[in-house]
Amino acid sequence: MTLPASLLAVLENLRGSFTAPTFATFAAMVTGLIAQTGKGTVTGMLTGAGLARAWSHDRAHAFFSRSAWNAEILGIVLAHLIVRTLLPSGAVVTVAVDDTLFKRRGKKVFGAAWQHDGAATGEKQVGRGTCFVVVGIIVELPFLTRPVCLPVMARLWRPKTGPSKVELAASMIRLLSVCLNRPLHVVADAAYHGKALRHLPASITVTTRLPKSAVLYDLAPPPTGKRGRPALKGERLGTAAQSAATAHFTTAQVNRYGRTDAVRIAEIRCLWYGSFHTQVVRVILLREPGTDTGYDLALVSTDLHSPAAALITRYAWRWSIEVTFSEAREHLGAGQARNRTENAVRRTVPFGLYCYTITVIWYTLHGHHPADAAARREQSPWYTSKTEPAFADMAAKLQRVIVAARFSAISPGRPTEAEIRAVQNAWAQAGLDLAA
C-alpha cells in the first residue's frame, strides 16, 4: 500500500505510539476508514485501503482487539500535534466535553446497554449501544469562520458500572492538562457538574450551563471569632430565575455562531454549594433582544477573570463537538464497526474520532486551497452561498489524494484504461458522498 506523502507526514507524528508492524496496520486502517465509500466497519477499512485481497481480515481485527497500543496515549500524542501546529504559541487550550451514544445490537457487545440517547427522536430518548465520553480540543482555522472540535480522548461509560460520566470527564481533563502542561478552559453542557469537578487545578476552568433547579448562595461571611465551625456559605440567593429578578443587566456585544449580537448580561459572584461546594463561581445571565424579564441563558463558570462576553463566546464554541459527532458518523462511519470484545469496543470508537482529527489536520497543513469552496459551488450549483469548506470537502479531497497515490504507485508510466476508470469512479464516489 502506498500512502500519499502528505498524509504520511501527519501520521509519522504518531509512529512512536506503535511498534513498527502495528504502525503499518494503523496507517492502513486510517487510510481505509477515510477512503472507504461503504461502511466504516473493520472490513470496510480494509476495502478502503485497497487491501481486502492482500491482507487477512484477522490482521485488521487483531489491530483493535489484540495489538499492543493504547488509545489514550495515541490521543495525547495527537493533542500535542494539535497544540504544536494549529494553536498560537502559548495560547490557552479550550476543550469541549460531551458524551454520545453509538447504537449497537447484540447481547455479547461489551458495554452495550439501554440508556439515554440525546439524538433520539420521539418522547423516549433512549437507545441501545455504547456511550463514550469525549474530550476534544477546539481550534480556529484560518479558512473557517466557525470553530472546530478535534477529539483527542474518549472513554467508554457503562451504566451502573464504574465511574460516572462526570468522573470520566474530570479524569481525562486532569490527564490532558498534565500532559500538555498548558492551562485548559473546559466547556460542557448542563449534565457536567458535580463533586468530580470541584477544586480542579488552578490551571483548569470549567464553564457549563446552569440547571434551572440549581440553588445559589452568597459567599461565606468572614469568621466571627465565636466558637464553632465557620459558616461555609452565605444567604440563600435562590435559583437563576429568582436571581434574575433583582440582577443588574448591562448591554454587551457577544460573538457567537458566526455573528455579533447585542445582548444584555448580568453577573453574580456566588456559591453553587450543591455542585461546586465552597468554590467561588460566576453565574452569567443573558437576555436576548426582546427579553425584558427572566433570562434566556444561564452559565456557571469557575473562571473568575475572563470577561462575561468572552465566557458566552466560549460556551457557544461547545456546539462544535456536536457537529464533530455528526460529521464523524456521517462521513467517516465512526462507530459502525461491529466488533464485540472489550479491547476492540474501547478502541474502535476513539480510533474513528481520531481519524476525524487527522483529516482536519491534514487538510489544514497540506490540503487546503483558496479555490476549494468555488470548486464545490461549481460542482454543486445549489450551494450558492458556500464560501468555506465543510468537513465533507476535506474528507473528499483526502479521498482523491489517497486514490491518486495508490494508482500512480501501481503504474508510474502511462495508466491503463481500467486504472483511469477506477480513479474516475473513486473520485465520482467521493463527490457523491460530498453531496449527500
Question: pLDDT digits over 206-236, tens only?
Answer: 999 999 999 999 999 988 788 888 899 999 9
Average pLDDT over the chain reads: 91
Three-state DSSP at 54 gives coil
- pLDDT, position 348: 97
pLDDT surpassing 80 at residue 407: no
**Domain boundary, last residue among 285, 305, 325:** 305
Q: Please tell me the predicted confidence (pLDDT) of residue 422.
A: 58
Question: Is the pLDDT confidence value at 146 over 90?
Answer: yes
Sorting pLDDT into bands at 50, 70 and 90, what band is 71?
A: very high
Residues 6+ apart with CB under 8 A from 162: none
Domain count, the chain: 2
Q: Is 416 a member of any domain?
A: yes
**What proportion of the chain, given as a percentage, has pLDDT over 90?**
77
411 pLDDT higher than 80: no
The answer, yes or no, to whether residue 250 has pLDDT greater than 60, is yes
C-beta neighbour count of 79 within 10 angstroms: 24
How far apart are the C-alpha atoms of 311 and 298, rounded to whole Å? 11
Could you tell me the pLDDT band of residue 35, with boundaries at 50, 70 and 90?
A: very high
End of a domain among 305, 325, 340? 305
> What is the enclosing helix (H) or strand (E) of 170?
helix 165-180
For cell 465543510, the residue is: 390
Position 197 in a domain: no
322 located within any domain: no
Structural domain including 247 reads 208-223+231-305
In a domain, 272, yes or no: yes
- What confidence score (pLDDT) does residue 432 get? 43
Pick the range with the lowest mean pLDDT from 148-157, 189-198, 213-222, 385-394: 385-394
Can you read off the three cell numbers belonging to residue 308?
462575561
Kindly report each contact of residues 428-434 with a partner whose C-beta sits within 8 Å and lies 24 or more positions away, as own/partner.
429/37, 430/37, 430/395, 430/396, 430/399, 430/400, 430/403, 431/379, 431/396, 433/37, 433/331, 433/392, 433/395, 433/396, 433/399, 434/376, 434/379, 434/380, 434/392, 434/393, 434/396
Q: Does residue 15 lie in a domain region? A: no
- Is residue 435 over pLDDT 50? no
Residue 247 lies in a domain: yes
| Stretch among 112-121, 158-167, 255-264, 338-347 having the lowest mean pLDDT | 112-121
Residue 53 is assigned to a structural domain of this protein: no
Is the separation of the CB atoms in 351 and 153 below 8 Å?
no
Question: What percent of the chain stands above pLDDT 70?
Answer: 93
Q: How far apart are CA 143 and CA 215, in angstroms?
A: 43
In a domain, 142, yes or no: no
The residue-averaged pLDDT of 355-383 equals 88
191, 116, 118, 196: which is closest to 160 by C-alpha? 116
> Which of 305, 334, 362 is the C-terminal boundary of a domain?
305
Contact 336, 234 (CB under 8 A): no
Decide if pLDDT at 273 tops 80.
yes
- Looking at residue 156, what is its pLDDT? 98
The predicted model scores a pTM of: 0.91
Cα–Cα distances (Å) from 334 to 10, 113, 338, in that order, read 20, 19, 11
Res. 169: pLDDT tops 50: yes
